[in-house]
């Protein structure tokens, strides 16, 4: 499947804009690394997330999982694409690839061969992957079926 057939360039750019706007809400008083993520659903809604850190460091929630949990808690579980942007002190210096936990969290709800992960530096400078490329040979709900 061609990536271009899943979402148009203008939808990608809007999603990147939303991901970058999500960085403004980042709560990152420990790492100062601000991340925003924008998750597009089949119903064409966008859920924006930011990272939420905690003094008990390990319970920090990444921007991607914030967006996923916002969507699921609003009754949406069919996802098309996610855009991610982030950087130290809120300055985008490079791509912000999703951590392993977030790749797995996305995997729960999507077909990795169809779901797009958009890593963005700006609306003009981004890279698009299938989740399959970032999480090959993944373990998902199907593996639990007999
Ligand atoms: N973080 C995210 O929110 N998403 C990523 O894709 C990578 C890392 C956050 C977690 C933590 O608040 C900060 O970035 C530094 O790891």
Which pLDDT band holds residue 53 (cuts at 50, 70, 90)?
A: very high
66 lines ligand 1 (CB under 6 A): no
Ligand 1 contacts CB of residue 135 (under 6 A):
no
Angle 8-105-92 from CA coordinates, rounded to 5°? 60
Span 33-47, mean pLDDT? Answer: 98
Mutate to test the pocket of ligand 1, among 27, 51, 52, 89 (most ligand atoms within 8 A of CB): 51
Check whether 146 has a pLDDT greater than 80: no
Asked if residue 25 has its Cβ within 6 Å of ligand 1, the reply is no
Backbone φ, ψ for residue 36 (5° rounding): -130, 145
Q: What is the pLDDT of residue 1?
A: 84
Per-residue model confidence as pLDDT tens digits over 118-139: 999 999 999 999 999 999 999 9
Q: State the catalytic residue, choosing from 53, 64, 108, 145.
A: 64
Residue 99 sits at φ, ψ, to 5 deg, of -70, 170
Contact, 18 vs 3, CB < 8 A?
A: no
Average pLDDT, the chain: 98
Annotated catalytic residue 145: no
- pLDDT tens per residue, range 1-21: 899 999 999 999 999 999 999
Region 36-55: what's the mean pLDDT?
98
pLDDT greater than 90 at residue 39? yes
Residue 98, ligand 1, Cβ within 6 A? yes
Reading the block at residue 22, the tokens are 């999500």
Residue with tokens 């989740």: 131
């Amino acid at each position: 499947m061609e990536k271009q057939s899943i979402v148009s360039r203008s939808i990608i750019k809007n999603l990147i804009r939303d991901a970058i706007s999500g960085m403004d809400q980042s709560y990152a008083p420990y790492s100062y690394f601000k991340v925003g993520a924008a998750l597009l659903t089949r119903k064409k809604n966008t859920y924006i997330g930011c990272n939420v850190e905690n003094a008990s460091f390990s319970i920090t929630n990444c921007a991607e999982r914030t967006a996923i949990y916002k969507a699921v808690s609003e009754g949406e579980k069919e996802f098309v694409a996610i855009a991610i942007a982030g950087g130290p002190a809120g300055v985008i210096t490079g791509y912000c690839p999703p951590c392993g936990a977030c790749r797995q969290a996305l995997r729960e709800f999507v077909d990795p061969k169809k779901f797009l992960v958009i890593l963005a530096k700006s609306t003009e400078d981004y890279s698009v992957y299938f989740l399959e490329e970032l999480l090959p040979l993944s373990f998902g709900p199907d593996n639990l079926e007999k």
